[in-house]
């Protein structure tokens, strides 16, 4: 290996270590449950990558090789149905963990960046080895799994019982709550996803989403600041 290549690798490694210690998402993520020794261990095998808008992180059906954590930006989780339609499962925010699957051989869903996103990845074999020796990490992973199941149950009720504009209102409130959780302004809120993604997520058409937003404005429940930002009254 050339001297310059070795130097560049050392600089990159130092940069990765610095990012871990300064990561603004750490206290919301799995890493926030790790002690100093465990964080150093994760530093030795984690990788960080920047993704551009709509760039895939992993695909449904791909062999499971890594777990992922959102360091910054947003991610769309979706599943392709047998008829080719896309079903959006949810949107992830800084600190969210992904890649866990009930099928340990392949990913059940696909993940795609929304806008620019920075993602940490952890090789499964090394992360699982760390997890075996840490009841705190295991407990946190179980907690997140239960929260995800609970959220999906609530989402099913929202789609099954509420009218279009009420689904939208609940969606906006959920985004507000998520932003508050990670220390971002919760009102007004920014919408990183486009109208089509919102429609797919809420099982609506894009026309119905647009109409529902208009109705919420007319009802004075929201105020649009611009196309991607709104205030919840």
Q: What digits encode the pLDDT tens for the residues 188-205?
A: 999 999 999 999 999 999
3-class DSSP assignment, residue 91:
strand
The predicted structure's pLDDT at residue 31: 77
Torsion over CA: 227, 197, 154, 24 (sign): negative
56, part of any domain? yes
CB 115 within 8 A of CB 73: yes
**Residue 7 sits in the same domain as residue 76:** yes
Please give the DSSP secondary-structure letter assigned to residue 90: E
Domain-embedded: residue 19: yes
> Is 95 found in the same domain as 48?
yes
In a domain, 155, yes or no: no
One domain, residues 110 and 217: no
84 plus 191 within the same structural domain = no
Instruction: Look at residue 8 and tell me whether its pLDDT is greater than 70.
Output: no
Number of alpha carbons in the 13 Å side-chain half-sphere of residue 223:
5
Residues 179 and 125 in one domain: no
127 and 166 share a domain? no
Separate counts of helices (H) and strands (E) for the chain: 7, 9
CATH of the domain at 114: 2.60.120.10
Query: Mean pLDDT of all residues in the chain?
Result: 83
3-state secondary structure of 66: strand
Is 154 part of a structural domain of the chain? no
Q: How many CA atoms lie within 13 A of 154 on its CB side?
A: 11
* Number of domain units in the chain: 2
- 4 compared with 129, residue with greater pLDDT: 129
Same domain, 119 and 198: no
- What confidence score (pLDDT) does residue 119 get? 93
Higher pLDDT, 92 or 133: 92
Q: What is the dihedral of CA 140, 143, 148, 154, to 10 degrees?
A: -150
150 lies in some domain? no
Q: What would the pLDDT profile of 48-91 be if each residue is shown by its tens digit? A: 899 999 999 999 999 988 999 999 999 999 998 888 888 898 89
pLDDT tops 80 at residue 12: no
Q: Is the pLDDT score of 7 beyond 50?
A: no
**pLDDT number for residue 183:** 79
Residue-wise pLDDT tens digits, 113-151: 999 999 999 888 888 888 777 777 878 878 777 777 777
Do the domain assignments include residue 149? no
Those residues whose C-beta lies under 8 Å from the C-beta of residue 16, and which sit 6 or more positions away, are 43, 46, 47, 48
Per residue in 212-229, pLDDT (tens digit) is 999 999 999 999 998 889
Look at residue 5 in the predicted model and tell me its pLDDT.
52
Rounded to whole angstroms, the Cα distance separating 212 from 168 reads 7
17 and 87 together in one domain? yes
**Could you tell me if 105 and 218 lie in one domain?**
no
What is the extent of the structural domain holding 187? 162-232
- Pair 14, 117 in one domain: yes
pLDDT at residue 102, rounded to an integer: 60
Distance CA(113)–CA(56), nearest Å, equals 6
pLDDT given for residue 207 in this prediction: 96
Identify which has the larger pLDDT, 163 or 150. Answer: 163
> Rounded CA gap, 37 and 35, in Å?
6
Whether residues 24 and 104 share a domain: the answer is yes
- The phi, psi pair for 116, rounded to 5°, reads -80, 135
Question: What is the maximum span of the chain, computed from C-alpha positions, in angstroms?
Answer: 66
Q: How far is CA 26 from the centre of its chain?
A: 14
Do 20 and 26 contact (CB within 8 A), yes or no? yes
Same domain for 109 and 217?
A: no
Question: Rounded to an integer, what distance in angstroms lies between the CA atom of residue 219 and that of residue 152?
Answer: 28
């Amino acid at each position: 290996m050339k001297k310059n290549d070795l130097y560049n690798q050392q600089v990159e490694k130092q940069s990765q270590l610095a990012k871990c210690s300064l990561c603004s998402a750490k206290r919301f993520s799995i890493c926030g449950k790790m002690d100093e020794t465990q964080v150093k261990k994760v530093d030795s095998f984690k990788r960080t990558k920047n993704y551009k808008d709509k760039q895939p992180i992993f695909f449904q059906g791909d062999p499971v090789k890594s777990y992922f954590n959102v360091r910054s930006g947003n991610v769309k989780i979706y599943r392709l149905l047998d008829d080719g339609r896309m079903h959006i499962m949810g949107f992830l925010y800084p600190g969210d963990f992904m890649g866990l699957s009930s099928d340990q051989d392949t990913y059940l869903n696909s993940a795609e960046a929304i806008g620019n996103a920075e993602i940490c990845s952890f090789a499964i074999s090394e992360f699982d080895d760390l997890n075996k020796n840490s009841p705190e990490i295991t407990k946190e992973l179980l907690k997140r799994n239960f929260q995800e199941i609970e959220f999906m149950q609530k989402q099913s009720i929202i789609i099954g019982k509420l009218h279009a504009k009420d689904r939208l209102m609940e969606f906006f409130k959920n985004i507000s709550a998520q932003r508050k959780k990670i220390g971002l302004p919760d009102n007004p809120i920014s919408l990183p996803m486009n109208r089509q993604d919102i429609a797919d997520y809420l099982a609506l058409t894009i026309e119905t989403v647009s109409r529902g937003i208009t109705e919420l404005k007319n009802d004075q429940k929201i105020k649009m600041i611009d196309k991607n930002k709104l205030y919840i009254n």
